Structure 1
């Protein structure tokens, strides 16, 4: 299902040519010297479009550094005057919006914690009515696509047409190498249902450490995201917040130099013809797979009838374990990941149970 957002394309409100939008700067504005010096180093790379810095920092626990406050807006203003970089900061209340706009901040973003609360998003949206300013909306902390879309719709409903999303990953109970799991499938779903919406990747918050950032930035570009927002500090070792995930301006420049930028479409007719041929093969296989799944479900219905007539429960745990074990072995031999195989089998199993449950309940209802 497509969502209709009344928005302007990214290039109409910030011209990056044929390159991705690059937003960079410290996690937190700490001192005027830190902000301005970092801005100059970033501007000197010739690769950064927008200077970012956290002015108000929503923290998980009280007592942690919660941002320098409104005075930091003047530091961003000075940095813009001296470097020509546009500026961006996070807003979480109507007062933040008013102060940021009064200071001439060019781009606002709504943080993950705020996106998770429709009341907060609506307060921000109400403060934005009648204003012509770009707004980026981060995904909520938890993997909830509807909540993300809802926040975008609220901001768009306030008349904001320069609208984009920030993919910063999602919280997960599983311990992995990432601070926040990328869960690329959710970002892909958003891109599919709102194809006109620019999506900016936030590798800093996904990774939680600078070593993984090059991998995620390249992945984001390969996923056709329109830009990056990366935390960069003049000296990350002494940063007041998120020191491990920030990079120096020089390291950022090196990272961007080594980034392979690919395009969503090709101007090469030979390439297009070959791609069309391969896609036809995929379409044919997909049709066959869907038909075979349909045939599988017909057999599942027959199994349901047989279980019903013999008073046997639907769920057979030992049979499910056997299916998973055998199919995972086959998948490994075919170079398919175990994670994909198990998820695929779970989907088939759940649909099979639903079909069998329908058959068994249909018989019972008919007898009543």
Structure 2
């Protein structure tokens, strides 16, 4: 059974929270209602959440619907207030997971507390930080621990807001086989039109649930309006999801391996972009010093070294040579463009 979490990015008003929650509660399979009360914004003077009064609204959701409620915590005082209002679950955000000092403070505040904790991956693709956060919370909290995959920040995320980089949640599943990993397709997507496809991929590779941002009127949302969907759209999405037999258990399925390949391909593309950025810098210096673009000696040395590095890898020599000659040709094309620019 999938763990399904839905609700707005931010609690904005009592009416918005109750209206959205009541609509979500009619959708089969939804376990949790989520809403951000304290919002860790990148820059000041933006909407930073309604604070404690939002906890009263979540308490009202518990009274008026069968849904369990959850919110994000970033400080020990947040935890104290949530426990005071009998909030059912807490999640630790990506910015907090990134900092072990913050995580340790939260862990100590949860000592002996029996409440489910959902831990989002850190912003950067560092699995050790994610593992460390889980270990710190597990060592103190008596409640069930979940991991939430919400994507990672790269210099270029392509069509996504945060790159899914499926390789890391798959590896986390191998490290913690008993911990459920939930996908947050909304933060990965950044656009509501991508949420369904990301959700399907998450289910295909054996993740254990979804946390989807749902607002009764996304167009007027105070935060992340482009990635939120309506309750009706959520119902449609869940009805159209294809759930493979035993997908949760088959972590080594073909689809899982393909997702890992996709992640590695993304890494390759990211590295190639970095390499070509360096080629641009090289071209600028060549142009300044009136040095020809093509340096045959450098090309021959580069290819020879790459062939030596590849020895023992079972990769065909011609294959390696073709790859680096193609990379060099693209580098020449880019450098030539720099030389032509006035």
Q: TM-score range by the shorter chain?
A: 0.7 to 0.9
Q: Distance in 2 between matches of 1:199 and 1:146?
A: 16
Summarize the alignment of residues 101-112 of structure 1 with structure 2, pairs less than 5 Å apart.
101-112=83-94
Say if 1:60 and 1:265 are closer, same or farther in 2 by CA, change over 3 A. closer
* Aligned residue in 2 for 1:42: 24
* Aligned residue in 2 for 1:9: none
TM-score, normalised relative to structure 2: 0.75
**CA deviation string 1:116-146 (max 9, x = no partner):** 0111101111111111000010000000100
Summarize the alignment of residues 125-274 of structure 1 with structure 2, pairs less than 5 Å apart.
125-264=107-246
Q: Is the 8 A contact 1:24 1:52 kept in 2?
A: yes
RMSD: 2.7
1:327 shift after superposition: 5.0
1:159 shift after superposition: 3.2
The list of structure 1 runs, each at least 4 consecutive aligned residues, that deviate by more than 2 angstroms after superposition, is 263-266, 318-330
Q: Distance in 2 between matches of 1:165 and 1:265?
A: 18
1:329 shift after superposition: 11
Whose Rg is larger? Answer: 1
Gaps of 5+ in 1: 1-18, 267-271, 273-277, 283-312, 331-337, 339-368
Q: Is the 8 A contact 2:69 2:89 kept in 1?
A: yes
Deviates most, 226-235 or 318-327:
318-327
* Aligned residue in 2 for 1:114: 96
1:175 shift after superposition: 4.0
Gaps of 5+ in 2: 258-297, 308-317, 328-342
TM-score, normalised relative to structure 1: 0.69
1:317 aligns with 2:299: no
Q: Distance in 1 between matches of 2:35 and 2:196?
A: 21
Q: Is the 8 A contact 1:204 1:210 kept in 2?
A: yes
1:193 shift after superposition: 1.4
Q: Is the 8 A contact 1:224 1:263 kept in 2?
A: no
Aligned residue for 2:226, secondary structure, equals helix
1:194 shift after superposition: 1.1
Say if 1:86 and 1:172 are closer, same or farther in 2 by CA, change over 3 A. same
Q: Is the 8 A contact 1:47 1:253 kept in 2?
A: no
Aligned residue for 1:316, secondary structure, equals helix
Correspondence for 2:63 among 71, 78, 81: 81
Aligned residue for 1:228, secondary structure, equals strand
Q: How many residues align?
A: 271
Q: Distance in 2 between matches of 1:47 and 1:197?
A: 20
